[in-house]
């Protein structure tokens, strides 16, 4: 029905075009019709190669590009709608050559290209033209690019001889189902193995991750490409490959060069830059009249065997099982290659040591005197070490006593500060309720009093937190909820007037093990720093939290003036304050405190300038997931765990 409708629309468009006044029709140029999305990486690379070839020509030629990626459109058009669209858009343009990439584009141009553009020659780009039937014969120049799907299947099954199941992973688009049919045919051709084939084509990304993580060891995975999942979310296919390969419990093979390095073992992958060059050169030869039919057996391929050395090690695959001429990427150097300079240094040291031994042999007769001198020297050294050790112990005891006195003083000073400050704050709050705030500056002065009280309290708490870390108090790892911790700290900072936007924390693990008090201090210090220095130009503070491997990553971004390049290496020093921030109240302790807390957990904190202005501070802390429910979770850290943080 779609084909008949398209033919009818084409006839109507032709009749309407004949009824229009005669206008000049632009002839020549190349029409590139792709079956895929413009955001797909191999499509980008193919078009980049096409444009490079065109830029190198002495004579310019127009290039028209159309994408049949129906997934990006609000309604999925059929062939009739595509024909009507192309007929309307190109009513005054007659391309000289058509390049059709992928099965949908080739079939559409084979069926309706003659009616749309006349007898324009077509260059087809597809792995196996015999699978296209009559549509494949319409291509005057069949450019056999694309991956060797059958060889990739053979590679996967040969390298994993215990495999009893092959799982195809893709989106639900037409090209993906076409590739799946070719894969099934390649598996069926392996009469020496009984392999069950399963196609996962309409899933959410999260469901695919869970499914692949639970695969048995007798499985292999073949990923074609996925740009839209079952929820309609758009992804870059190479990013999806990376996510799925990381969690897959079975070897993960791919068809495209852009997916190598994402965690896949490899495959006979397609290099789309080579595909683009072969296709455009054939099209230019047709346009220039220099094209010659290919000789019998002459075929151009842009695919070859490529594997990731790291994944061979991961899955225990021996290099002897690789096909001939396989390209091995990401190979780590051998021990000798990596430590050649060290080996040469060791040989030199051995030479020096041999000379020293020769000298010792000459002086062997004097060993008695030298031995006595050595014993005397050792005795004197032991006496000096003993005396020095006593001095160090006394100094250490004195330092510990001084720290204890300082801690006692700080506790006392904290109590003495906080008690009157609390009285002042509550009194100011009561006055705000009892006194008319609109009287000559009364409201502003009461607000100033309360802000000053909070500033002093923040200063006292920051100093106490820094003192606790300086005393090298050991970590107190307990079970806590990361999302609740983020929510608690954010709400506390919102109480100070900060505008904070929090990203989705649903992907965080329910619980983890670390020192939540110190992590809360660190996040609070980052938010306080952004509130003080990063909101001068207005705008909200953006907080993001995610789980990266075995580490919790917290990111705080603002739209402030940022940090000057010459100061960025010193901002984590204790008491250091930038020249532009001297007018803003602060202690210079907060960022140093964050750095110390990160290092106590074995993590890091880093600063980076933000695109468009501002700062981004990223705190990365390795944590242990707590897989068992916490017996007594900390109340302060879990009070918001039942609701998402916004």
459 and 510 housed in the same domain: no
Average of pLDDT values for 594-602? Answer: 89
pLDDT at 82 over 50: yes
Of 362, 379, 403, which marks where a domain is finished?
362
Please state, in angstroms and rounded to a whole number, the distance separating the CA atoms of residues 504 and 238.
23
201 and 85 housed in the same domain: no
Residue 288 within any structural domain of the chain: no
234 and 356 housed in the same domain: no
For residues 4 and 121, which has the higher predicted lDDT (pLDDT)?
121
Residue 439: give the domain boundaries.
Answer: 389-464
Number of Cβ within 10 Å of residue 74's Cβ equals 4
**How much of the chain, in percent, has pLDDT values that exceed 70?**
78
Residue 192 within any structural domain of the chain: yes
pLDDT at 630 over 70: no
pLDDT at 15 over 50: no
Number of Cβ within 10 Å of residue 258's Cβ equals 22
Please state, in angstroms and rounded to a whole number, the distance separating the CA atoms of residues 208 and 54.
41
Strand pairing category for 604-609 and 551-557: unpaired
577 and 593 housed in the same domain: yes
For residues 335 and 132, which has the higher predicted lDDT (pLDDT)?
132
Count of structural domains, the chain: 5
Domain of 112: which CATH number?
Answer: 3.40.50
What pLDDT sits at residue 521? 86
What pLDDT sits at residue 298? 66
129 and 25 housed in the same domain: yes
Average of pLDDT values for 230-238? Answer: 92
139 and 156 housed in the same domain: no
Contact present, 467 and 595 (Cβ < 8 Å): no
What pLDDT sits at residue 592? 85
pLDDT at 205 over 50: yes
428 and 549 housed in the same domain: no
Residue 529 within any structural domain of the chain: yes
For residues 208 and 408, which has the higher predicted lDDT (pLDDT)?
208
Please state, in angstroms and rounded to a whole number, the distance separating the CA atoms of residues 276 and 257.
14
End-to-end, the C-alpha distance of the chain in Å comes to 50
Of 143, 166, 191, which marks where a domain is finished?
143
Structure tokens at 48: 């980049």
Please state, in angstroms and rounded to a whole number, the distance separating the CA atoms of residues 443 and 436.
8
Q: Give the distance, in angstroms, between the CA of residue 248 and the centroid of all CA atoms in the same chain.
A: 17
Contact present, 201 and 211 (Cβ < 8 Å): no
319 and 345 housed in the same domain: no
Average of pLDDT values for 292-298? Answer: 73
Alpha-carbon torsion 306, 308, 309, 314, what sign?
negative
Confidence of residue 629 (pLDDT cuts 50, 70, 90): very low
Domain of 535: which CATH number?
Answer: 3.30.565.10
pLDDT at 485 over 90: yes
Please state, in angstroms and rounded to a whole number, the distance separating the CA atoms of residues 596 and 572.
9
Confidence of residue 330 (pLDDT cuts 50, 70, 90): very high
What pLDDT sits at residue 645? 34
Average pLDDT, the chain: 81
Residue 80 within any structural domain of the chain: yes
Of 100, 115, 143, which marks where a domain is finished?
143
Residue 343 within any structural domain of the chain: yes
**pLDDT tens string 91-105:** 888 999 999 998 889
Least confident of 245-259, 350-364, 438-452, 524-538: 438-452
> Nearest 10 degrees: CA dihedral of 519, 524, 530, 531?
170
What pLDDT sits at residue 631? 39
List helix spans (H) across 189-266: 205-213, 237-247
Structure tokens at 485: 């911790």
Element spanning 351, H or E: helix 340-362
What pLDDT sits at residue 575? 73
Name which of 175, 237, 286, 224 is nearest 44 in CA terms: 237
**Phi–psi pair at 641, nearest 5 degrees:** -70, -15
Please state, in angstroms and rounded to a whole number, the distance separating the CA atoms of residues 319 and 78.
47
What pLDDT sits at residue 416? 65
**Phi–psi pair at 44, nearest 5 degrees:** -60, -45
228 DSSP 8-state letter: B
What is residue 226's three-state secondary structure? coil
550 and 598 housed in the same domain: yes
138 and 156 housed in the same domain: no
Longest CA span, the chain: 120
Residue 374 within any structural domain of the chain: no
Element spanning 470, H or E: helix 442-470
611 and 485 housed in the same domain: yes
503 DSSP 8-state letter: -
Least confident of 44-48, 289-293, 348-352: 289-293
Residue 470 within any structural domain of the chain: no
508 DSSP 8-state letter: S
Number of Cβ within 10 Å of residue 378's Cβ equals 10
Average of pLDDT values for 63-81? Answer: 76
48 and 173 housed in the same domain: no
**Phi–psi pair at 253, nearest 5 degrees:** -115, 155
What pLDDT sits at residue 246? 96
Residue 61 within any structural domain of the chain: yes
Average of pLDDT values for 355-381? Answer: 84
Please state, in angstroms and rounded to a whole number, the distance separating the CA atoms of residues 617 and 491.
19
pLDDT at 473 over 60: no
b vs e for 98-118, b when ≥16 Cβ sit within 10 Å of the residue's Cβ? bbbbbbbbbbbbbbbbeebbe
């Amino acid at each position: 029905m779609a084909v008949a409708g398209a033919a009818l629309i084409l006839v109507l468009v032709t009749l309407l075009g004949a009824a229009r006044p005669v206008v000049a029709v632009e002839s020549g140029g190349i029409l590139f019709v792709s079956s895929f999305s413009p955001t797909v990486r191999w499509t980008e690379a193919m078009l980049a190669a096409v444009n490079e070839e065109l830029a190198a020509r002495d004579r310019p030629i127009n290039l028209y590009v159309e994408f049949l990626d129906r997934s990006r459109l609000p309604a999925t058009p059929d062939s009739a709608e595509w024909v009507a669209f192309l007929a309307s858009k190109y009513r005054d343009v007659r391309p000289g050559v058509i390049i059709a990439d992928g099965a949908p584009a080739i079939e559409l141009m084979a069926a309706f290209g003659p009616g749309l553009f006349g007898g324009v020659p077509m260059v087809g780009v597809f792995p196996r033209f015999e699978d296209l039937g009559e549509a494949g014969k319409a291509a005057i120049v069949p450019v056999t690019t694309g991956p060797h799907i059958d060889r990739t299947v053979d590679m996967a099954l040969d390298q994993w001889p215990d495999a009893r199941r092959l799982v195809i992973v893709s989106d639900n688009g037409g090209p993906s189902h076409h590739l799946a049919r070719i894969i099934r045919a390649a598996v069926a051709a392996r009469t020496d193995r009984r392999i069950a084939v399963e196609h996962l084509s309409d899933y959410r990304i999260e469901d695919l991750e869970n499914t692949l993580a639970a695969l048995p060891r007798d499985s292999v995975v073949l990923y074609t490409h996925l740009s839209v999942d079952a929820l309609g979310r758009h992804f870059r296919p190479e990013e999806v490959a990376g996510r799925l390969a990381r969690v897959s419990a079975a070897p993960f093979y791919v068809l495209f060069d852009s997916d190598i390095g994402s965690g896949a073992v490899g495959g006979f992958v397609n290099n789309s830059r080579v595909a683009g060059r072969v296709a455009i050169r054939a099209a230019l030869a047709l346009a220039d009249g220099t094209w010659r039919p290919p000789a019998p057996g002459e075929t151009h391929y842009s695919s070859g065997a490529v594997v990731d050395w790291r994944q061979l090690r991961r899955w225990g695959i021996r290099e002897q099982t690789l096909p001939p001429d396989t390209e091995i990427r990401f190979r780590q150097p051998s021990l000798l290659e990596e430590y050649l300079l060290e080996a040469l240094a060791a040989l030199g040291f051995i030479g020096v040591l041999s000379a020293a031994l020769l000298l010792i042999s000459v002086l062997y007769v004097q060993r008695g005197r030298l031995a006595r001198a050595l014993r005397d020297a050792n005795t004197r050294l032991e006496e000096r070490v003993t005396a020095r050790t006593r001095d160090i112990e006394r100094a250490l005891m004195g330092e510990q006593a001084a720290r204890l006195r300082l801690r006692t003083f700080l506790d006392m000073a904290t109590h003495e500060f906080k008690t009157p400050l609390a009285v002042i704050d509550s009194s100011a709050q009561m006055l705000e309720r009892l006194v008319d705030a609109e009287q000559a500056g009364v409201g502003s002065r009461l607000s100033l009093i309360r802000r000053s009280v909070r500033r002093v309290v923040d200063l006292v708490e920051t100093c106490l937190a820094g003192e606790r870390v300086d005393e090298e108090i050991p970590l107190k790892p307990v079970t806590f909820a990361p999302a609740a911790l983020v929510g608690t700290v954010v709400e506390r900072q919102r109480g100070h007037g900060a505008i904070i936007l929090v990203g989705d924390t649903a992907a965080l693990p329910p619980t983890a093990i670390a020192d939540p008090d110190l992590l809360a201090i660190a996040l609070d210090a980052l938010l306080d720093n952004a509130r003080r220095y990063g909101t001068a130009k207005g705008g909200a503070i953006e907080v993001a939290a995610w789980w990266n491997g075995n580490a919790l990553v917290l990111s705080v971004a603002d739209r402030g003036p940022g940090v000057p390049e010459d100061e960025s290496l010193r901002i984590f020093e204790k008491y250091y304050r930038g020249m532009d921030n001297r007018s803003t109240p602060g202690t210079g302790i907060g960022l140093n405190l964050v750095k110390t807390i990160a290092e106590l957990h074995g993590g890091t904190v880093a600063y980076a300038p933000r695109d468009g202005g501002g700062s981004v501070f990223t705190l990365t802390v390795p944590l242990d997931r707590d897989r068992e429910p916490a017996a007594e979770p900390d109340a302060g850290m879990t009070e918001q765990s039942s609701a998402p943080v916004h």
